[in-house]
A and B are shown apart, each in its own frame.
Chain A
């Protein structure tokens, strides 16, 4: 059974960089059938797509966040990561990592999510 697990600091100071890693187990991140991505959900609010990456390293990001987002993959560790620079309180959210099927273009597996709070 595929599992995704987010990890990283739960508290980040304003203007600093948020860094999260998603570890994939029970399947290979190098599969040609999937993209791997990040979605966030501010407390009490809706979902926002952040971006996704293919095992080859090709990454795609939400245009509204593009200037601050970097997504990269480590196929040897079966992990992919997110960096979000210059964070503000508006970036406080539950961050999910997920797998997206290339054919159906739908997210079929989600991590449990990790809460990141931006505060001094």
Chain B
């Protein structure tokens, strides 16, 4: 199984919206609605931001949203804030109890 493809970096100014893509295959993102997104600040463990493509856990601001089209999932951060600057990772179920992560995207708030 290959890693999901994410852009290495993304950026935006405070208040703007940024979308991070995550491209997989018809065997993972394209087949299952089990895409999750994690936020990781330096030196910290990842934090779940989105699950099942577009669901937000309790406590995650509604500025974070997820979607999927075909083999590509996307995370959109609206109304960018300084604390959103972090690394973001997507992951998808790939069948047979296997999972695959994306390579991560460093989001910079300008």
Contacts and interface: CB of A to CB of B under 8 A. Distances in A.
A101 B34 CA distance: 11
Given A104-B51, A106-B36, A60 B103 contact: no
Interface residues on B, range: 20 to 34
A39 B104 CA distance: 14
Given A107-B48, A108-B48, A47 B101 contact: yes
Contacts of B3: 46
Contacts of A47: 38, 46, 89, 91, 101, 104
B97 interface: yes
A48 B89 CA distance: 11
Contact of A113 (B36, B45, B47): B45
B51 to A, nearest CB: 4
Contacts of B36: 104-107
A111 B57 contact: no
A108 B97 contact: no
Interface string B19-37: 0000000000000001010
Interface of A: 39, 46-49, 52, 60, 62-64, 96, 101, 104-108, 110-113
Given A96-B46, A106-B48, 7 more contacts: A46-B89, A46-B103, A104-B51, A104-B55, A105-B36, A108-B48, A111-B45
